[in-house]
């Protein structure tokens, strides 16, 4: 009588729960400890999500289409991938996690970068206007000071500013606006001061023509961001501060679709006049943290 040859025990999945250990085992030899940790955690959460919610094949196909769609909708004028991260609160979460601020810290609060920052905005002298066309808007002056990690005024810091026009469009969205309109870089003086002129920004809708717009509509969420100015403040030996300043008068502060408003980012936009002409003024200081000066990758060219 012939004895059957024992068959080798194969490590193969036969239930939904049995698959994850095999996937994690396949990743276990990843040389980078950080990549190994991140991918193991992400994979674990994804598997638990699929099982917990009993994701159907049709739902999985729709999710894949969404990911393909945000990639295909990203180009020279838009970054739908960044927008998706913004709408899910992930961009703000990363900013809060890495820049805690708070009452116990003198550092200024950070905010998400957003999809519209462009590198190499024009260098401007203090007092210059970043409105490079006849914007039909409420004139505005912005002044402030930059302080270093030691609490002292910081000379030579670069204050990069950008904003939407009074119609709610950034220059790269609007062919009618001149190149680099409402963008500029200013260098602080010996007392850490900067000053520029512009037009008062208005609230605006995030782009809704792509997959992210479809998601907002499906969730019955409005797309309108409250009015704000963007700032990026940099100086060697200090961490680059990316932030925004919002007007307290905007009714959408609590419903910003990208969750970008924190209490510390609400500024003092004050209506006044000069020589009989209406004027908006904003005074806002920035406090940098010690660290390496590393600029972000521009979401658009």
Question: Terminal CA-to-CA distance of the chain, rounded, Å?
Answer: 77
Q: With beta carbons less than 8 A apart as the criterion, state whether 273 and 88 touch.
A: no
Residue 282, beta-bridge partner list: 142, 269
Kind and range of the H or E element at 142? Answer: strand 139-147
Distances (CA, A) of 109 to 69, 149, 291: 33, 14, 15
pLDDT, residue 12, reads 92
Q: With beta carbons less than 8 A apart as the criterion, state whether 233 and 157 touch.
A: yes
Alpha-carbon distance of 128 to 198, in angstroms, equals 9
Q: What is the pTM of this model?
A: 0.87
pLDDT, residue 272, reads 92
pLDDT, residue 133, reads 82
Run means of pLDDT, 10 residues per run, the chain, 301 residues:
67 94 97 98 98 98 98 90 96 89 67 92 97 86 96 97 93 91 97 97 93 97 96 97 95 96 92 91 95 92 71
**What is 106-204+223-287's CATH number?**
2.60.130.10
pLDDT, residue 3, reads 66
pLDDT, residue 5, reads 65
What ranges do the domains of the chain cover? 106-204+223-287
């Amino acid at each position: 009588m012939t004895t059957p040859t024992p068959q080798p025990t194969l490590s193969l999945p036969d239930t939904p729960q049995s698959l994850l250990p095999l996937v994690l085992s396949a990743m276990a030899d990843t040389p980078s400890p950080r990549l190994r940790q991140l991918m193991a955690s992400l994979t674990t959460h994804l598997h638990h999500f699929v099982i917990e919610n009993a994701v159907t094949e049709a739902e999985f196909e729709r999710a894949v289409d969404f990911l393909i769609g945000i990639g295909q909708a990203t180009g020279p004028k838009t970054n739908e991938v960044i927008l998706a991260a913004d709408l899910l609160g992930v961009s703000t979460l990363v900013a809060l996690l890495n820049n805690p601020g708070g009452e116990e810290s003198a550092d200024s609060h950070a905010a998400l970068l957003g999809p519209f920052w462009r590198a190499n905005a024009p260098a401007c002298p203090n007092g210059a206007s970043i409105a490079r066309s006849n914007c039909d808007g409420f004139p505005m002056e912005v002044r402030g000071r930059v302080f270093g990690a030691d609490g002292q005024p910081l000379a030579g810091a670069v204050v990069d500013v950008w904003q939407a026009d009074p119609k709610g469009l950034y220059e790269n969205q609007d062919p009618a606006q001149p190149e680099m309109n409402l963008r500029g870089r200013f260098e602080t003086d010996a007392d850490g001061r900067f000053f520029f002129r512009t037009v008062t920004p208005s609230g605006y809708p995030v782009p809704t023509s792509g997959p992210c717009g479809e998601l907002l509509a499906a969730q019955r969420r409005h797309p309108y961001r409250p009015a704000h100015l963007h700032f990026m403040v940099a100086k060697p030996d200090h961490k680059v501060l990316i932030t925004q300043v919002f007007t307290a008068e905007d009714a959408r502060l609590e419903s910003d679709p990208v969750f970008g408003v924190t209490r510390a980012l609400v500024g003092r936009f004050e209506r006044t006049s000069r020589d009989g002409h209406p004027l908006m003024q904003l005074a806002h200081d920035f406090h940098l943290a010690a660290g390496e000066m590393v600029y972000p990758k521009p979401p658009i060219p």
